[in-house]
Chains A and B, each alone.
Chain A
Amino acid sequence: MDVLYFAWVRERIGLPRERVDSSAATVMDLVEELRGREERYAAAFADISALRVAVDQELVDFDTSLNGAREVAFFPPMTGG
């Protein structure tokens, strides 16, 4: 799947998107996988209450299933308007 990062999540991880081969069942499982990769991922995902997630461009909760997901995006709370 494609994993996208926006705003300070993108800055902390150091890239806007990447291809991730993962068998994670839920968003939270994917977060755990990413956290285990490198310090910059652990730092970005340290506090998930400060993060929001979208699966296939729909805002969802972290316990959402990734079954069939093509695109997962992580970002801070939005500041539109």
Chain B
Amino acid sequence: MRVVVQDSPFDLGVETEKFAQGCSASGAIVTFTGVVRDVAGGLEVMEIEHYPGMTQSALEEIATQAVSRWSLEDALVIHRHGPLRVGEMIMMVATAARHRKDAFEAAEFLMDYLKSRAPFWKREVTSDGAAWVEAKAADEDALDRW
């Protein structure tokens, strides 16, 4: 299991390849990538703030849960912070399991928990000004299914 919090970009292809090479017992590898999308008014920059002391441990706790619950061979979480532009990758998760159902479910679980239990806050700056992205009730509700 690997959890990385960084401000620099990551290479999705390189990370996925490296992850897959270490998972010889897995027939299924799922990756998800979150990308900065444009918004009405044109996004100048998305700033991601985080809680340095807590981020790493919160992500590790979530990843550990996923690994044990779905018997994953391995899991990877990379999450960036700092200023990001449209099209840049914010984060990725990868899961490796014997079969695809476990890999897909574990990746969804990771994403649902990352959204509302990892201490990151997004702020969108457009030509109209800056606004903190509000958490959606649906994101909190999504945790109930697990």
Q: Which residue of A lies closest to B121 (CB)?
A: A7
Which residue of A57, A58, A73, A78 contacts B120 across the interface (Cβ within 8 Å)? A78
- A68 lies within 8 A of chain B by Cβ: no
Provide the A1-20 mask, 1 if CB < 8 A to any CB of B, else 0: 00010111000000000000
Contact segment of B8-16, B21-29, B95-103, B130-138: B130-138
- B63 lies within 8 A of chain A by Cβ: no
CA distance A58 to B55 in the complex (A): 10
Residues of A within 8 A of B122 (CB): 79
A43 to chain B: closest CB distance in Å?
15
Q: Flag if A78 contacts B49 (CB, 8 Å).
A: no
Q: Dominant SS at the B interface?
A: mixed
Q: How many positions in chain B have a CB within 8 Å of any CB in the partner chain?
A: 26
Q: How many positions in chain A have a CB within 8 Å of any CB in the partner chain?
A: 17
CA distance A25 to B114 in the complex (A): 31
Provide the B70-112 mask, 1 if CB < 8 A to any CB of A, else 0: 0000000001000000000011000000000000000000010
Residues of A within 8 A of B119 (CB): 6, 54, 73, 75, 78, 80
Q: Flag if B51 contacts A57 (CB, 8 Å).
A: yes
B97 to chain A: closest CB distance in Å?
21
In the assembled complex, 5 residue pairs joining A and B whose CB atoms fall closer than 8 Å, in A order, are: A4-B51, A7-B49, A54-B51, A57-B54, A76-B132
A residues sitting closer than 8 Å to B (CB atoms) are 4, 6-8, 54, 57-59, 71, 73, 75-81
